Amino acid sequence: MSGVVGFRIRDVWPRPNATLLASFRDAASPQVADSMSRLGAMDSGIRPVWHSQRVIGAAITVWCHAGDNLMIHKAIALARPDDILVVNTQGAISSAPFGELLATSAVKSGIRAVIIDGSVRDVEALEALQLPVYSRGVCPGGCNKDGGGEVGAIIACGGVAVRPGDIIVADWDGVTVVPLEDAEAVAKAAVRKVASEAARMEEIRAGVLVRPEIDEHLRQLQIID
């Protein structure tokens, strides 16, 4: 690690292997969040800026000053293929630290997706590049490259803590973060959740529109007889 507090770069952290990432392949972001007692889902302000495909990858985290994207440039240089760039911009929405030029570099470096708690720009170009991008908004304003900021820090994004190496599951519903240390257990729970929902869908198609245990629960609460 190099630099000083608030202006430093970490370039080594634990990462999930390909097998662990693949274990989430059948679970949507809501199912993964449900598998963590409904934790880990970023707030509804973090949305895809175009109708991109679902992505799973490992977080490379960036913490920027408002109106500055110096550390995003450095993070792209450090990223490995299939990483997902996750950025905290100190709540800035009147400037966009990420657009077509950085997106082109990100695609060339193998980054799978970008998630920014802030604004982005050049949306048509992002879609043309087929780079999934999630943000809190779109804004034409640009950024400086003065620093500080950090790469590889624990950050907040969409109201959720994100550590470098955490697993990100992002789709049209939004973004869910899985702590790396819990990922194996969450993946197994997500597999069970997917199977449970599939079974319930078959019941609905067969005509069981409301689960019988709903009334039993209401009786326990003394709401019905």
**pLDDT at residue 127 is higher than 80:** yes
Average pLDDT over the chain, rounded to an integer: 96
User: Tens of pLDDT along 139-161?
Assistant: 999 999 999 999 999 999 999 99
Average pLDDT over residues 54-77: 97
Per-residue confidence at 179, pLDDT binned at 50, 70, 90? very high
| Residue-range domains of the chain with CATH | 2-197 (3.50.30.40)
Considering only the C-alpha atoms of the chain, give the largest distance between any 2 of them, rounded to a whole number of Å. 67
At 218, give phi and psi (nearest 5°): -65, -35
Instruction: Tell me the Ramachandran region of residue 138: left when phi exceeds 0, alpha when psi lies from -120 to 50, beta otherwise.
Output: beta
Q: What is the pLDDT of residue 94?
A: 95
CB 95 within 8 A of CB 136: no
Please indicate, yes or no, whether the overall pTM of this predicted structure exceeds 0.75: yes
d(CA 76, CA 80): 8
CB 71 within 8 A of CB 151: yes
